[in-house]
A and B are shown apart, each in its own frame.
Chain A
Amino acid sequence: MLELDNVVRSFGDKVAVDHVGFRVADGTIAGFVGANGAGKTTSMRMIMGVLAINRGEVRWNGEPATAGDRRFFGYMPEERGLYPKQPVLGQLIYLGRLRGLGHEKAKRSAIGLLDRFSLADQCEAKLESLSLGNQQRVQITAALLGEPALLVLDEPFSGLDPFAVDSMAEVLRELADAGVGVLFSSHQLELVERLCDQLVVLAGGRVVADGTPDELRRRGQTRHRLVTDAETGWVHDVIGVTVVQEGNGTAVLVLATPGAGDRLLTEALSRGSVREFAELVPSVADVFREITA
């Protein structure tokens, strides 16, 4: 299990990461969301030991994370390219060897993974000759070398077409099912909502929310939509109802009590026929906008 405990990092006067704390359990996919500059990349770099921590601690299985531990963390930085002019397999072997795999083991691991991504025939191709999606697959391969216990991926889905997104999501799910903890950052909130077991929302260097997508959605305000074939101006006068938006026979409302819903529906039926009366559960994206605003 990965654990960040009150981690702080500042650059000069600017505090980039401000007492950030959260956990990612083994076998969990955790989405790391936040606006640009919220501190996601800085946090990930500190997890990977690439950037020094000013205060606080990164722990692995309850102990301060060591360089030895981090050799079992697969990492994919944000701007990627590896070595564009080098053959795919060669650079994967190199990175595997740096992580402590022997030459043979690194090679076997790399070939196995490339095969898994249907890139086995591209071993000797230069990286830059591959399509963007395939380059991304090589990137993730680099992170997966030597069976990591934790994956830290900075924007793994950016720039991928929908098919590549699906196959990447599938890979992450598979790894999580095998017990690997996954922490990835993304701006694609629908994807995060669909894929993640856990969401960590960062704003201004602080964690503003941490929980399952359901828990997060429940933090938002549930609204109701009423659609009738008559005018809806009367909704303003119903007690216990706050109008968010109204017009053209449709009203979006917040109900103070369940009783207010009954009153509203009765009134609507007396004025004409009701086409729709439904609960609007906010999406993660809605909640994200609400809590980071």
Chain B
Amino acid sequence: MIETATTTTTTASAEDTPPVHTPLPSGKDSRRVRDQAWWIVASREMSVKIRDRGFLISTLVLLALILGTLGAQVAIAASGEKVTVAAAGAESGKVINAADALADQAGESVKITWNPMASDAAVKAAVLSDQVDAGLQATPDGWMLIGKTDRKTTAAIWIGAAVQQSALVRNAAAAGTTPADLARGGALKYTLLSPDETPEMVAKGTTTVFGFLFYLVAVLLGASLATSIVEEKQNRIVEIIASSIRLRYLLLGKIIGNTLMALAQMVVFAAVGVIGLLTMGKSDILEQITPGLGWFFLFYGVGIAVLASIFAAAGSMSGRIEDITSTTTPTTAVVAVVVIAGISASGTLLTVLSFLPLTSTITMPGRIVAGDTSWWEPVASLLISLVAAVFVILVSERIYRRALMQTGGKLSIRQALKLTD
């Protein structure tokens, strides 16, 4: 029926005041939802994700990769350092044992063992049948190491040193002098001025590993975030949500939820890495990268938040699941460039990159590990990233809000920004 002018006055004007018109008695008590709406969204994102098969599988695969890499290194460390050398005669045995002693003195972890043989022919046969790693034979003008297919370089260095030493002793005696006199002036010492600082290789390695993980997690996160946005858009559930809460809180909840999940993923990876390093007995490396680890999580959190909001905007520009790749690919490419630049940069470029948003995510922790930074540098870099994060989130929200009601195909950034609410 057509309603004639019956006006009911209400006092409900503030957004938080529940209206007084509920026809049914209950349901108007605690509808103060806006403060925690983002958290409701974030916790749903997380609980859905933790049950998502794709997320679980990719996490497990990455874990397996990390464990595999560490395991392979342990295996190489364990097997590569043992060299069995076959040789006939007590003289050869002496050389081999001396080589092992020299390597041991130098702190080298190689273990060279003598496998006594009856004859040189037996030595050759043992090498050919893979019974030993190498063979040692005396020749008229010295010694000869024999191998089957590969040269055992470490063993060769120390056996060579032992051979030279024994020759030196013999020749010195023949010349009526001492080995010490012969070797005088030929000593070389290597002194590290800052032995407590992190070796460059460790710093570089840390950056590479972090960069690689950042890339992997970013790609996984981006794809799942964009998909969840397009899904909501495609079946219009976003309209129901938008009629209940502000889209800003939906976006914020998604970004926070997914960032937290990505951080949790990293914590698991890092924990496995730490356990791995401890099992390998590399606790010194651990000590060197631990301060960087904390910084890395800080930078990583901010970096992922920036990426997540870019991906959210990219996701909302696609109308259908099929369009996601084309709108998210540019972002993925940016991440790849960031990682490669971060890993390969050095000198001034590295310093500059460590202050730029996104690139700082992987370069600044590396610099901290290397001990190149004053206290204010990470702080300043983090602040720059935070400002950038807020800016990107604001722009993304604009795109998100405006593009979300569009269902036909995909939009360009320019089109998306031109849309009205």
Contact = CB atoms under 8 A, between A and B. Distances in A.
Contacts of A1: 3, 6, 8
A66 B12 contact: yes
A73 to B, nearest CB: 7
B185 interface: no
Given A50-B405, A210-B2, A79 B245 contact: no
B330 interface: no
Interface string A138-154: 00001100110100000
A52 B420 contact: yes
A86 B237 CA distance: 13
Nearest to A49: B243
Interface stretch (B14-22, B106-114, B255-263, B339-347): B14-22
Given A68-B12, A68-B15, A97-B40, A147 B240 contact: no
Interface in B1-51: 1-3, 6-10, 12-19, 21-24, 26-28, 30-34, 37, 40-41, 44, 48
A149 B243 contact: no
B151 interface: no
A147 B235 contact: no
A232 interface: no
A61 B19 contact: yes
Contact of B244 (A71, A83, A86): A71
A77 B405 CA distance: 12
B241 interface: yes
A83 B407 CA distance: 17
B237 A149 contact: no
B133 to A, nearest CB: 57
B256 to A, nearest CB: 15
B8 A73 contact: no
Given A61-B8, A62-B9, A71 B23 contact: no
A72 B22 contact: yes
A217 B10 CA distance: 36
Most chain B beta carbons < 10 A, residue from A60, A81, A97, A100? A100
Contacts of B240: 75-77, 82, 95, 142-143
Interface residues of chain A: helix, strand, loop or mixed (majority): loop
Interface string A3-32: 100000000000000000001111010000
B323 interface: no
A198 B17 contact: no
Contacts of B237: 77, 80-83
Contacts of B32: 100
Contact of B27 (A26, A146, A212): A146
A99 B33 contact: yes
B421 interface: yes
A193 to B, nearest CB: 15
A26 B23 contact: yes
Interface in A228-274: none
B236 interface: yes
Given A68-B16, A178-B23, A95 B2 contact: no
Contact of B231 (A26, A28, A83, A147): A83
A150 to B, nearest CB: 9
Nearest to B37: A98
B31 A100 contact: yes
Contacts of A37: none
B239 A25 contact: no
B33 A98 contact: yes
B202 interface: no
A147 B24 contact: yes
A235 B21 CA distance: 60
Contacts of B239: 45, 48, 50, 75, 77
A78 interface: yes
A147 B28 CA distance: 9
B10 A62 contact: yes
A292 to B, nearest CB: 19
A180 B420 CA distance: 32
Interface in B380-400: none
A83 B241 CA distance: 12
B27 A86 contact: no
Contacts of A71: 18, 31, 33, 244
Interface in A74-96: 75-84, 86, 94-95
B236 A61 contact: no
B22 A81 contact: no
B246 interface: yes
Contacts of B33: 71, 97-100
A224 interface: no
B19 A100 contact: no
A78 B22 CA distance: 25
Contacts of B17: 68
Contacts of A197: 1
A48 B243 contact: yes
A146 B7 CA distance: 25
Nearest to A146: B27
B247 to A, nearest CB: 9
A13 B37 CA distance: 36
A101 interface: yes
Interface string B53-66: 00000000000000
Given A82-B237, A83-B231, A101-B27, A69 B1 contact: no
B243 A73 contact: yes
Interface in A32-53: 45, 48-52
24 contacts: A1-B8, A24-B3, A50-B405, A61-B12, A61-B19, A62-B7, A63-B13, A67-B15, A68-B17, A70-B244, A71-B244, A72-B18, A77-B237, A77-B240, A78-B236, A80-B235, A80-B237, A86-B48, A98-B245, A100-B30, A105-B27, A147-B24, A149-B23, A212-B1
Given A149-B21, A212-B2, 10 more contacts: A66-B15, A66-B19, A69-B19, A71-B33, A72-B18, A72-B22, A77-B237, A78-B236, A79-B236, A146-B27
Interface of B: 1-3, 6-10, 12-19, 21-24, 26-28, 30-34, 37, 40-41, 44, 48, 231, 234-237, 239-246, 405, 407, 420-421
The 6 closest A-B pairs by CB, nearest first: A81-B235, A100-B31, A179-B23, A100-B33, A52-B421, A23-B3
